[in-house]
Amino acid sequence: MELRCIIIDDDELSRVSVQRFCEKIEDVQVVACCKSAAQLIELLEEEWADFILLDIEMPGINGMDLVKSVTHLPYIIFTTSRTEYAAQAFEFKERIVDFLAKPITLPRLVKAVERVRDLVEQESNSNKSDDIFIKTDGRIVRIEIDHLLYIETVGDYVMFYTTDAKYMVHSTLKRIDEKLHHPQLLKVHRSFIINLSKVVDIEDNTIVINKKVIPVSRQYKPMLLRRIDPL
């Protein structure tokens, strides 16, 4: 399994050193190097990666602030010369995989990358049920995932659209998203969860499913690109 990586560090020598190490690890592709959080945020609007090697100490937005403020980032491997950040690094984000103290060594980096590989493989091989159950009109209805097109917020309700029907549920999209854990389903906007297998077309910041044009928020687009893995 090839892993796509982005390196972000304001120090050029550090970027070059880490990139050279990555090139020695089998099936790791460095798709971009950035020197600031602002560059990374702009890059993630169009590019995707399985993990980011992220320096903590940077001018402007530092690595810790970036992870706190930007949702739906790839897996994170923090890098820093100050080990006192380690405890703080793991207490607020579940996608932080490891913490590497500078100077980074190749064996230590290999170990961190293997942790990422394990997590990515677990996501890919997730064995989830092919149906979900919803409460609607006083009854419980089963919806097969292969029949589900998308889920949309409609006022105080959430609408489930399938290939042959639609169902209204009194809930919020946030609550639905927290309960749905299926590899085909992905939140792409504050008002939409889509079935990736039903996507017909993606252009700029929109998706077409069953002739419905669905917006894609900037914060969710990197995850969308990562999940569809375009050639």
The phi, psi pair for 132, rounded to 5°, reads: -130, 160
Query: What residues does each domain of the chain span?
Result: 3-124, 131-221
- In whole angstroms, give the CA distance from residue 174 to residue 59: 34
164-196 core/surface letters (b: 16 or more CB in 10 A; e: else):
eeebebebebeebbeebebebbbbbbeebbbbb
Q: How far apart are the first and last CA of the chain?
A: 15
198: pLDDT strictly greater than 50: yes
Burial classification of residue 163, based on how many CB atoms lie within 10 Å of its CB (0-12 exposed, 13-18 middle, 19 or more buried): exposed
Please give the residue that has the higher pLDDT: either 150 or 93. Answer: 150
CATH for 131-221, among 3.40.50.1100, 3.20.190.10, 3.40.50.720, 2.40.50.1020?
2.40.50.1020
The CATH code for residues 3-124 is 3.40.50.2300
231: pLDDT strictly greater than 80: no
Fold agreement between 3-124 and 131-221: no
Instruction: For residue range 56-107, list pLDDT tens digits in order.
Output: 989 888 888 888 888 778 899 999 887 777 666 666 666 789 999 999 999 9
Instruction: For residue range 163-187, list pLDDT tens digits in order.
Output: 999 999 999 998 898 788 788 899 9
pTM: 0.65
41: pLDDT strictly greater than 60: yes
